[in-house]
Amino acid sequence: MSVSSSVSSAQVITIDDVRSLVSQQWGYDSFRPLQQEAIENVLAHRDSVVVLPTGGGKSLCFQAPACALEGLAVVVSPLISLMKDQVDALHTNGVAAAFYNSSLTPAERNSVIDAIRSDALKLLYLAPEGLLTENMMSLLCGVPLSLIAIDEAHCISSWGHDFRPEYRGLKTLKQRFLGVPIHAYTATATERVRQDIATQLALEEPAVLVGSFDRPNLKYRVERKAGGIDQILNVVHQHQGESGIVYCISRKEVERTAEALDALGHSALPYHAGLSDIDRQNNQEAFLEERVDIIVATVAFGMGIDKSNVRFVVHSGMPKSLEAYQQESGRAGRDGLEADCCLFYGGGDLMTWKRIMDSSGEANEAALAALEAIDRFCKSTQCRHKSLVEHFGQAFDPTDCGACDICLGDLDLVEDALIIAQKILSCVIRLEQMYGAEYTAQVLVGSQEKRILEKGHDKLSTYSLLEEYSKSVIRDWIEQLLGQDCAVKYGEYSQLQVTELGWKVLRGEHTPKLVKPVSKQSRKQQQTVDPASWDGVDRQLFESLRELRREFATEQGVPAYIVFGDATLRDLARRRPSTTENLLKVNGVGQKKCDDYGRQFLEHIADYCHETGAEQDSVPEPVSQSTPSDHPSSGLTASAVSAFPHFKAGTSIAETAQKMARAESTVRGYLGQFIKHEQITDPSPWVDFATVERIRAALDTVEGDRLKPIFEHLGGEVSYDHIRIVASCLANVEGT
C-alpha cells in the first residue's frame, strides 16, 4: 500500500509570512479571533480541531497557510456547491485551486489530474467518497501534501447534528498519508462531538481551539406561529431587496411559502430534495448571483452556501436541534454586519420531527435529546444569545445582549405568574390530564365550542378562568410551563401531564417565570445590531456599488459576494477612495481584486462624487468601543450621541459636520440615529417643505419600503438622504 509523507520540515514559514500573504491576496490587515492560533498549528504541522462560529473565518485557517507552504493541501468538503463557491472565491484572490467531483466532464477531470501531477495547485477540494477511491488515494500518495483539512467535520460524529457515514472512512487517512497533519474544522460541535471528531480521525495529540459561539451581530427573535404567512412577510418587508433564507420543515410548505411570497411581489424560489438536480442548482445560483432575493428551503439547503450578505434567516418551524439552528441561523450576517434571525415555532413541531425521525430511522437517543433541547429553547424566557452559548458549554456574562427578543423588551414579565400558572395547571388536572394544550386553552378562555359543551367541561371550576386573555397568549403560557418542566406532553395526541415541579407550583412552593408580548408602542426603541457598520457610509453610493458588483458577477458567472462582500462595499462607500493606494486600504480588497476590479470601481466612485459633491478619500472614524452597558439597548455610538445637541437646535448637516470636524456623510448617519432614537417627526430642519411633500406623495404611491423605487419615481431629482430623512420621520408619526 502506497503512502505519502508531508513536505520537508526544512521549510520554515512564519505567521508573519502568512499575515503578509493574507493582506496581499485577501485584503485583510488582521486576523479574526483564533485564526492566528489555528494557522500557527498548521505551520507547526500539528493536528488540530478548530471550532469557529459560522462567519468566523474557518476557511482562511487552512487556505492561507496552504498558499504559503510547499505542496498540495487536500480539503474534504461534503457538498459540490460548497466546493465550487470556495474555489471560485480562491480564484478571485489569485489562488491556484480546483475541485474534483462528479459535476466535472471527463476532460475537466483529466485537467485537474494533470494539475495535481504537475504541482500546479495549492488546494484541491474533494468529497469523502471521491477522496477515498483507490485511484485518487494512489494519485495523492505520489505528490507532496502540505496538509489535509476536513471541513464540516461534525459530519463524522454520530453525536453531531448532521452525521454522514461516508465521513467515517476518513479514519484511514492517518495510515495512508504518514506525517501529513490533519485539521478538522466545524462551526457546531459540543465537547462530546469535538472529542468524537478527534477519535474518529485518529488525530495525534491534536490542538483543540474553540471560538466563542456567540454571534453578536445577529438579532434573535422567537415567536409562536400565528398561522399563515404574515409573520414571514413582516420580516421580508423589513429587508426589501436584501438576501434572505426561509427554512420550512416540509417540502409542501416550502412550495406553498415560495409561491405565496412570489405572488405578493417578493422574488423567491424553492429549494428541496424533491426538485431535480438542475432545478436546485439553477435556484441556488439565482440566489447566489442576486437574481432572486429569497430562497425558501428545507434543511437540504445551507451547508453548501457561503453567501456572506444574507441579511435575514427565518425558520417557519422549529429546527431539529440547537446545533442545526445555530448553523442555519448562522447563514445570516457572515460578513459581520447586522442580520435578523426569526424562529416561528408551533405546538405540533415537536411531534412532526419525531414522526420524521421515526420514519427515517434517526430517532436515536442523541437525536431525541437534541430535539428536546431546541423545544426548551423555543419556550425559554432566558436571553437567546445566552441560551445558545451555554448549550455549547461556554459562559455568557452580559446581563443584556441587546440583540434578542428577551433583552430588547419584546416580552414583558407577567407579575401574577404564580396565580396564572396555578390556574393553567389546575385546568390540566380538572381535565384529568387527558387533553392537549389547544383544548386546555379553549377551556381556560371560556370557549363555546360544541365538544367542550358536550363533554360538560363548561361546568368545570377552571372554565373561563383566564377569559380576559386571548387563547394565543394562554397557549404561549402553556408552552412556557412545558419549557420550565412544570408539565410534559405524552401520548399520540400530546396530552398534558403535570410534573412534580408542576405540583410544587400548585402548592405555591415554586414560582415559574411567564412572559407575554408587549405592544409595539411600548417596545424599547432599538436600532439594529451594530449600527456602526453603517456609520459614515454613503448609502446612495453603496446601492450603486451593489449594481456595479452585480454586473461583474453576472458577467463572470459567480455569486456577487465573491466579487466584493457587503462589508467591503460599505467600506468603499465610507472611504470613497480616489487612488489605488487608498483602494488597497479598504477592508477586503487585496492586490488581485484591485487589479481585476479596481479601475472600474475607482471610476464609478469618482463619477458619483463629482455628481454629488461628496468628498473622496475620507478617513473613517474609529468604531466606538462602548459596551452594551454604556448605552443599554440603545444601539447608539458615542459619536452619534455627541451630535444630538446640534440636531436638537435645528442645525443643518453641513454646519454640524463643520462644527464636529466630521465628513457630511458621517453626520448624515448620526442624523439617522438621532431621528430614530428621539422619535423625530418633523424633517423641516433638514429638508425643505416642497421636497417633503413630494417625498410624502411618493411614499403614498410607491409600494414597499425600498428607497430605490421612490428615488426613481421622483425622477432622480431628490437625493436618497432626503428620502431617508423624510421616510424615517413619517414612520415615527405612524408609530405614535
Residue 396 above 70 pLDDT?
yes
The closest alpha carbon to 15, from 1, 33, 31, 32, belongs to 31
pLDDT tens figures, 163-202: 788 888 999 999 999 999 999 999 888 888 899 999 999 9
**Looking at the DSSP assignment, which residues form a beta bridge with residue 147?**
73
**Residue 705 confidence (pLDDT):** 63
Segment 79-87 shows an average pLDDT of 83
Instruction: Please give the Cα distance from 337 to 334 (Å, whole number).
Output: 7
pLDDT tens figures, 139-159: 999 999 999 999 989 889 877
Residue 522 above 60 pLDDT?
no
Residue 734 above 90 pLDDT?
no
Residue 645 above 90 pLDDT?
no
Which residue did the predictor score with more confidence, 630 or 131?
131
**Residue 624 confidence (pLDDT):** 41
**Domain chopping of the chain, boundaries:** 15-210, 218-396, 413-517
Q: For all residues of the chain together, what is the average pLDDT?
A: 86
C-alpha cell recorded at residue 402:
441587546
Lowest mean pLDDT among 75-89, 447-461, 506-520, 637-651: 637-651
**Residue 639 confidence (pLDDT):** 64
pLDDT tens figures, 91-104: 999 999 999 998 89
Task: Identify the CATH homologous superfamily for domain 218-396.
Answer: P-loop containing nucleotide triphosphate hydrolases (3.40.50.300)
Query: What is 15-210's CATH topology?
Result: Rossmann fold (3.40.50)
**Residue 633 confidence (pLDDT):** 39
**Residue 518 confidence (pLDDT):** 67
Residue 654 above 90 pLDDT?
no
**Residue partners of 564: CB distance under 8 A and separation at least 6:** 545, 549, 572, 588, 589, 593, 597
**Residue 104 confidence (pLDDT):** 92
Residue 251 above 70 pLDDT?
yes
Most confident of 71-75, 333-337, 407-411, 672-676: 71-75
pLDDT band at 11 (very low <50, low <70, confident <90, very high): low
Burial of 710 (0-12, 13-18, 19+ CB in 10 A): buried
pLDDT band at 527 (very low <50, low <70, confident <90, very high): very low
DSSP letters for 140-209 = HHTS-EEEEEETTGGGG-TTSTT--GGGGGGGGHHHHSTT--EEEEES---HHHHHHHHHHTT-SS-EEE
Segment 607-613 shows an average pLDDT of 87
Contact 35, 65 (CB under 8 A): no
Distance of CA 699 to the CA centre of its chain: 31
Give the sign of the dihedral formed by CA 290, CA 296, CA 300, CA 303: positive
**218-396 has the same fold as 15-210:** yes
pLDDT band at 8 (very low <50, low <70, confident <90, very high): very low
Segment 529-556 shows an average pLDDT of 80
pLDDT band at 523 (very low <50, low <70, confident <90, very high): very low
Instruction: Please give the Cα distance from 49 to 60 (Å, whole number).
Output: 15
Residue 124 above 90 pLDDT?
yes
The closest alpha carbon to 389, from 207, 630, 220, 155, belongs to 220
Residue 625 above 50 pLDDT?
no
**Residue 630 confidence (pLDDT):** 38
Residue 160 above 80 pLDDT?
no
**Residue 628 confidence (pLDDT):** 34
**Residue 426 confidence (pLDDT):** 96
CATH (one of 1.10.10.10, 3.20.20.390, 1.10.300.10, 1.10.150.20) for 413-517: 1.10.10.10
pLDDT tens figures, 442-498: 999 999 999 999 999 999 999 999 999 989 889 989 988 988 889 998 888 889 999
Segment 492-517 shows an average pLDDT of 90
Residue 638 above 80 pLDDT?
no
Residue 64 above 90 pLDDT?
yes
**Residue 3 confidence (pLDDT):** 54
